[in-house]
């Protein structure tokens, strides 16, 4: 190994560290959020709570550089697993969303996780559903799950 090669490698590593480029091509969840709708493959808003009369809630995720992997949206209500929606990531930027038909008796805290095939949690978000979600547990029913994906 030549001294010139070593200096070049060291300089490149230092520059990547200095400019934060070491994770530039790393796989990541660029966005994970609850929303009231998706239009043109983009969430219409970002929400952290909805009233008990809301009909549908979406969990939207934008993945970067994860093509070829399998990812799951895992929905939980008050800490109890309710549904899982799995999908294959088909491109370098992959936007997906799953939705829940909300039932008024299922108030409380909902949480959606982005989980890899080996069970690693990449991201999670919480959503309050109803008047006082911290105090309500509701019955353990599994609402319908809908799923859409896009490759751009």
For 46-96, write each residue's pLDDT tens digit: 999 999 999 999 999 999 999 999 999 999 999 999 999 999 999 999 999
Sketch out the chain's domains with CATH numbers: 26-150 (2.60.40.1930)
Give strand pairing partners of 98. 59, 147
Mean local confidence (pLDDT), 11-20: 46
CB 35 within 8 A of CB 60: yes
The pLDDT tens digits of the residues spanning 84-123 come to 999 999 999 999 999 999 999 999 999 999 999 999 999 9
CB 53 within 8 A of CB 104: yes
Is the pTM above the cut of 0.85?
A: no
Pairing relationship of beta strands 49-50 and 121-129 according to DSSP bridges: parallel
Closest by CA position to 118, among listed 70, 66, 84? 70
CA distance 101 to 70: 24
């Amino acid at each position: 190994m030549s001294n010139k090669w070593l200096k070049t490698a060291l300089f490149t590593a230092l520059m990547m560290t200095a400019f934060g480029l070491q994770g530039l091509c790393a796989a990541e969840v660029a966005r994970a959020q609850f929303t009231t709708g998706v239009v043109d493959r983009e969430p219409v808003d970002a929400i952290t709570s909805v009233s008990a009369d809301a009909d549908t809630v979406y969990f939207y995720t934008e993945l970067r550089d994860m093509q070829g992997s399998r990812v799951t949206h895992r929905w939980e209500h008050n800490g109890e697993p309710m549904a899982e929606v799995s999908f294959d990531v088909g491109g370098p930027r992959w936007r997906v969303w799953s939705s829940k038909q909300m039932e008024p008796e299922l108030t409380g805290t909902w949480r959606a996780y982005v989980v890899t095939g080996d069970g690693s949690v990449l991201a999670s978000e919480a959503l309050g559903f109803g008047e006082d979600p911290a105090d309500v547990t509701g019955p353990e029913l599994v609402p319908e799950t809908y799923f859409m994906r896009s490759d751009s």
